[in-house]
Amino acid sequence: MTQRGLYDILDEDENLSEDIVDNRRGYMMKYDVIIIGAGPGGIYSAYELTQKKEDLKIAVFEAGHALEHRHCPIDGDKVKSCINCKSCSIMSGFGGAGAFSDGKYNITNDFGGTLHEYVGKKKAIELMQYVDEINMKYGGEGTKLYSTAGTQFKKLCLQNNLNLLDASVRHLGTDINYIVLENLYAALKDKVDFYFDTPIRTVKATDGGYRVVGEKESYDCDRCVISVGRSGSKWMEKVCEELSIHTKSNRVDIGVRVEIPAVIFSHLTDELYESKIVYRTEKFEDNVRTFCMNPYGIVVNENTNGIVTVNGHSYEGADKQTNNTNFALLVAKHFSEPFKDSNGYGESIARLSNMLGGGVIVQRFGDLVRGRRSNAKRIAEGLVEPTLAATPGDLSLVLPKRILDGIIEMIYALDKIAPGTANDDTLLYGVEVKFYNMEVEINEHLETKYKGLYIIGDGSGVTHSLSHASASGVYVARDIAAAMM
Ligand SMILES: Cc1cc2nc3c(=O)[nH]c(=O)nc-3n(C[C@H](O)[C@H](O)[C@H](O)COP(=O)(O)OP(=O)(O)OC[C@H]3O[C@@H](n4cnc5c(N)ncnc54)[C@H](O)[C@@H]3O)c2cc1C
């Protein structure tokens, strides 16, 4: 430990570890590797480092809470909507944005990120398979791995102008996903120093390493892995600016979440669980795609920086399953010149839906195509019982015509492979927006122009999924371990 004489801020009421007390007395804590963010990217990075080089001194700094303290206060009763907690328990904390997700680990290069462009296609798949092995070892054993290999639906889709993308998907389910995280934490906690509720303010390049500056303490390290995900996007932008790391704008995906009786899609979901299907619209030649399919699942609210959008979950345990299946239909938009802010565009559309509906809007497909607003009575009389309490309204007042036309076209196309999708009572919730971080300039080691400073996971703009983010963590850990041998 080296004395730097920077801090001397001890509060006797605080129950601090010896290391932190030392740090505040003026001893700078020094780690071999510091990881910022305990989402999948950070966790699998820490895991692999401990596997590859046991003697490394590793710390993980996480803005959110430890897993057991992550609780969203919205209970639908006393707290009905977001109260903007200092740290959002849905997006932040051990497990990151994926902690309460459906736990779908897609093993594919066709979607979920562009990791393969950096590490090669074969390597990317190997890494995702390795992550799957870890998940099986830590509680996921017995969960099902679905695959599109050899499926008859590929042909059926092509015959109807739809393209079924190739993938294997491990569905952990929200319940098992949580158990895997619990087990991983138990395995790591004695080998890695975890600092929860510790947002990092900035990262500075020092002589031969990095200084990670928190609200009260600073820590030095030889190598630093930044894995701050979607919730850390604004912070990531600031750090890149400070360190003059080049970034470029990414896309935004906008659309709706479709909810139908599960039986309508069961022939697909029973075999594939999640089918990623792309449709090229006739009118504008835009691509509309299915995203995040949740058989027998529920539709949920999602809060991104105070804007309420929609998402979906499903559980592995039969007792928590519903009679409905939900999935998103999304259209990608990418702005570059002169307007660059793709996320800002998505945010404005989501804000509009929040303004009209006070949150998420729900509309029957039949009402949408007839150009009328849905009301509570028509929804209550419909065949699909909504799993989310949303405001009946009119999505055509929110979504741009081009996007809405594409979604309607795709619903009719899906109706050909899953008759009933275009029923009047099919529910559409809006809006669903998938924000992407700006793409950070990194090399084939996922390393910035600074040696030993890595940016991985969704925060890099390179990955957008559990499997790709986790795989990027394993990849940099191996790179670091090899360099430190
Ligand atoms: C509701 C929901 C459901 C989803 N379902 C799926 C799914 O089924 N399958 C799938 O593939 N993907 C899913 N996703 C996406 C998936 O969760 C993300 O792609 C994945 O979590 C990205 O991992 P990450 O480690 O890059 O970032 P994150 O998981 O976002 O983790 C980043 C962590 O960094 C922390 N952090 C941010 N800034 C700082 C800072 N300054 N200092 C310290 N810590 C910081 C955050 O608190 C966060 O915990 C879902 C996302 C959501 C929100």
DSSP 437: P
pLDDT value at position 62?
98
Q: 40 CA distance to ligand 1 centroid (A)?
A: 7
- CA–centroid distance, 235 to ligand 1, in Å, is 14
pLDDT, tens digit, 9 for 90 and up, residues 321-354 = 999 999 999 999 888 788 888 888 999 999 999 9
Tokens of 54: 């046991």
51 CB-near residues (< 8 Å, 6+ apart): none
Whole-number pLDDT of residue 206: 94
SS3 assignment, position 252:
strand
pLDDT score, position 11: 52
DSSP H helical ranges for 160-311: 173-188, 233-242, 262-272
C-alpha span between 40 and 229 (Å, rounded): 9
Q: Distance from the CA of 380 to the center of ligand 1, in angstroms?
A: 35
Span from the CA of 371 to the centroid of ligand 1 (angstroms):
37
Query: β-pairing, 58-61 with 193-195?
Result: parallel
pLDDT of residue 4: 36
Protein residue with least CA distance to atom 17, ligand 1: 98
* Residue 2: predicted pLDDT: 35
DSSP structure string for 278-333: EEE-TTT--EEEEEEEETT-EEEEEEETTEEEEEEE--SSGGG--SEEEEEEEEEE
State which of 458, 462, 472 you would mutate to test the pocket of ligand 1, scoring each by most atoms of that ligand within 8 A of its C-beta.
458
Give the model's pLDDT for residue 294.
93
The percentage of residues in the chain with a pLDDT greater than 90, rounded to a whole number, is 78
Give dist(CA 457, CA 466) in Å, integer: 9
**Nearest alpha-carbon partner for 199 in 162, 249, 234:** 234
Predicted TM-score (pTM) of the model is 0.87
Atom of ligand 1 lying closest to residue 302 CA? 1
CB of 435 closer than 6 A to ligand 1? no
Q: Which residues of the chain have pLDDT under 70?
A: 1-27, 76, 80-81
Contact status, residue 237 vs residue 249, Cβ threshold 8 Å: no
**Does ligand 1 have an atom closer than 6 angstroms to the CB of 469?**
yes
Instruction: Residue 94: name the closest of 31, 33, 43, 34 by CA.
Output: 43
Q: Burial letters for 165-198: b for 16+ Cβ neighbours within 10 Å, e otherwise?
A: bebbbbbbbbebbbbbbbebbeebeeebbbbbbb
* Residue 41, both tokens: 């990217």
- Cα separations (Å) of 420 from 206, 383, 413? 61, 11, 11
pLDDT at 9: 45
pLDDT of amino acid 336 = 78
Is the C-alpha dihedral spanning 15, 17, 18, 24 positive or negative? Answer: negative
3-state secondary structure of 75: coil
Q: What is the pLDDT of residue 76?
A: 67
Residue 366: the pLDDT is 98
Q: What are phi and psi of 463, to 5 degrees?
A: -115, 155
